Amino acid sequence: MLSTVRCFQLGMLISLLTACAGGGSLTVSNPTPVARTSAAPPLSAGSITEYGSLPPLSSPERITLGPDGAMWFTENAIDQVGRLDPITSRMTQFYAMPGCAPVGIATGPDGNIWYTCQGTNQITRMATNGLGTNFSVPTANSNLSSITKGPDQALWFTESDANNIGRISTSGSITEFHIPTMNAQPESITTGPDGNLWFTEYASSKIGRITPAGSITEFPTTLPLEGPWGITSDASTGTLWFTELDSDHIETMTTAGTVIATYAIPPSGGNPHHITFNEADGDLWFTQTGSSGPDAIGRITPMGAITEFSIPTANSAPSGIANAPNGIWFTEKSGNAIGKIVP
């Protein structure tokens, strides 16, 4: 089932008073974003800039580089999707379907923005002009999370409570594949260097591989109860990298499912969330909500050397992270901001 709705208003005041009947998208521009910058020079390596002009309590969740060169992100608590122009710092807000609670977001092979609606159990396809189309997922209450562009010109997503991996074509046709391990709780998903999809299983402490045809194989992490969370692929080495939320580790794995190495997060930090590969420096970058130290952005080299960069805003709860030509971008769920770090 799908629905398409579009509406526009002219300003932030009207946006707070008006809701689009039936959902769809409402565009709101804020021409005066506020940047909060760390003490280091703005363009020096490791310098963090925070853009704090989001609507109050928006809880930005995940972020991706859009087809237009802008950064697009989900705002889980207010049913909106945001766009940040990296050149002008201009923010634009788009309404999602009421009750959507958007989480995962990705740029599709069709040049549209795709995101998961955790609250309404839908996948939304949205053009960069704000026109959205919603597709209902067959399994009810599936608890949709991450979404990524696949190697087969489709989008793939995780259903944490339904224990499924989903595939949606750019026309909206959905297929679901059940994970063999019960209650695995799939979280993040990425396209691997081998042309398959790879995903984390938070509850079962496994990494899953699914072929474009739907065949699933699961591989154990080093230890039980590690809570694998974010995952990305390193195209330069043909490996997978993933974070372990509960054990404060990062592991790397071959496409044959063999763990190569396990690296401990320094005692000053912990709770690594999402992770991305940066082609420019060949390193992996990740968000971490410090369990015993400040919230930070971490960098890990292919050899396992870890550097942490503290986020200026305390208790910002960084979550999603994405690579772009002009820096590494991330969301701050509690800081209510979008951040950028210069590699």
Quick one: pLDDT at residue 266? 84
Mean pLDDT along residues 155-164? 98
Task: Say yes or no to pLDDT of 290 above 90.
Answer: no
Quick one: pLDDT at residue 200? 98
**Residue of 142, 148, 124 whose CA lies nearest to 196:** 148
In tens, the pLDDT along 189-230 reads 999 999 999 999 999 999 999 999 999 999 999 988 899 999
Distances (CA, A) of 309 to 269, 300, 342: 10, 12, 11
14 or 206: which leads in pLDDT? 206
Mean pLDDT along residues 60-72? 98
Quick one: pLDDT at residue 217? 98
Complete edge-to-edge strand list for the sheet that includes strand 80-84:
28-30, 91-95, 80-84, 71-75, 60-65
Active site residues: 273
DSSP 187-233: EEEEE-TTSSEEEEETTTTEEEEE-TT--EEEEE-SSTT--EEEEEE
**Residue of 186, 188, 222 whose CA lies nearest to 203:** 186
Separation CA 173–CA 60 (nearest Å): 28
pTM of the model: 0.89
Quick one: pLDDT at residue 19? 30
Confidence of residue 36 (pLDDT cuts 50, 70, 90): very low
Query: What residues contact 8, with CB distance under 8 A and at least 6 apart?
Result: 26, 27, 130
Confidence of residue 53 (pLDDT cuts 50, 70, 90): confident
Mean pLDDT along residues 37-48? 56
Quick one: pLDDT at residue 269? 67
Pairing of strands 144-149, 154-159: antiparallel
**Residue of 211, 177, 175, 176 whose CA lies nearest to 192:** 211
Quick one: pLDDT at residue 25? 39
Domains of the chain: 2-341 (2.130.10.10)
Separation CA 343–CA 329 (nearest Å): 10
DSSP 44-62: STT-EEEE--SPTT--EEE
Lowest mean pLDDT among 22-31, 95-104, 244-253: 22-31
